[in-house]
A = this chain, B = another copy of it.
Amino acid sequence: MNGNRFGRLFQVTTFGESHGEAMGCTVSGCPAGLELSEEDIQEDLDRRKPGQSMITTSRGEPDAVSIKSGIQDGYTTGTPIGMVIQNKDARSGKYEPFITAPRPSHGDFTYSAKFGTRNWGGGGRSSARETVNWVAAGAIAKKLLERNGIELKAHVNQIGDVEAPEVSFEEIVERSEENDVRCAHPETAEAMQDLIADYQEEGDSIGGSIYFEARGVPVGLGAPRFDSLSARLGQAMMAVPATTAFEFGLGREAREWTGKERNDDWEFDDDGNPVPVENDHGGIQGGISSGEPIYGEVTLHAPTSIPKTQQTADWETGELKEEKVIGRHDPVLPPRGVPVVEAMLALTLVDFMLLAGRLNPDRLDDQPGEYDTDYHPSSPRNE
């Protein structure tokens, strides 16, 4: 088992290594009748792709997606959607000093130890490049959610010790894509970029975090206990490369709040229905969505591949070596992580929409050329 599958009903299966021929993923469980083109997917892939700006790796990948199945005349057919993204700029030679000596805190050692390979087939699988598949699949999930009134967005809310003030969801939607660092607060974005430039100059890298929020999520998503909405979001987000913390609602801070402070009293909305007065609970109560916005944060540690000299141990020669990781690497992960976090959020939510019966698993209601099954539940002989 390679852990390359995500989702119970909206199922994503991925393949591909950083330095192999292609990446690819298969999405199954997408209902028929969704308008979908390669452009829809490409848009998100472009937000994740390398070489977008000074603060992203200069590896030149067009990341052009090719849909192989599951679409006809611009609409999904209800059958598996196969997608392939060719790797163009795979120069594996560059890593050679590290073939038998693991890069510090990278997946090199653990992959080699697990699979017994000393090369890039395994190491290449551990690359964040794999998330190109997630973003491709997530773009489909997002389209389905949008049709159901669910909107979601992430932005970078901290880099090093530079932290953005709280911004509204509308601001995140409008402004986060306006700067390279993908922070919805323009002044903070500038400060972040300066900070990143400084570390980059020193040959170092820096950590940061991503804030995410989803609006319009109906009450009732989540399958507690082990598949509670928070548990599944926890898995989804902790799978994001370099993640060391997942928080929702008050997150870590909740440890210092009293029950009275954190509890959200109930009131009535204009229609006379109970709604929480505030949303300190982060949109999830008892593991199930409460109808309030779902929000949280993901912490990504600093990229491990840095130009600064580090010590490694060569298991072939038995010698310690001082090496620099030469190559094209991001000095910070959150900016390109934003579409990845959005993808995992979307994949988790759309799966629960299906699990809660809020999305027809076979086909959308208003699809073109619809053929009504219900007209014919059975033949006369079947009664």
Contacts and interface: CB of A to CB of B under 8 A. Distances in A.
Contacts of A255: 158-160, 207-209, 299-301
Contact of A310 (B121, B263, B300): B263
B276 A207 contact: no
Nearest to A308: B260
A9 interface: yes
Given A254-B207, A371-B112, A72 B117 contact: yes
Interface stretch (A40-48, A52-60, A99-107, A176-184): A99-107
Number of this chain's copies in the assembly equals 4
A319 to B, nearest CB: 9
A94 interface: no
A153 to B, nearest CB: 14
Given A288-B114, A356-B362, A216 B79 contact: no
Given A231-B238, A266-B320, 6 more contacts: A8-B8, A207-B256, A234-B239, A283-B382, A315-B371, A357-B359
20 contacts: A1-B11, A2-B80, A6-B226, A13-B28, A78-B114, A79-B121, A79-B122, A79-B124, A107-B286, A109-B285, A115-B362, A204-B260, A208-B255, A215-B382, A231-B234, A233-B238, A245-B245, A251-B252, A257-B302, A263-B304
**Nearest 6 Cβ contacts at the A-B interface:** A107-B286, A77-B121, A234-B238, A3-B227, A3-B223, A15-B82
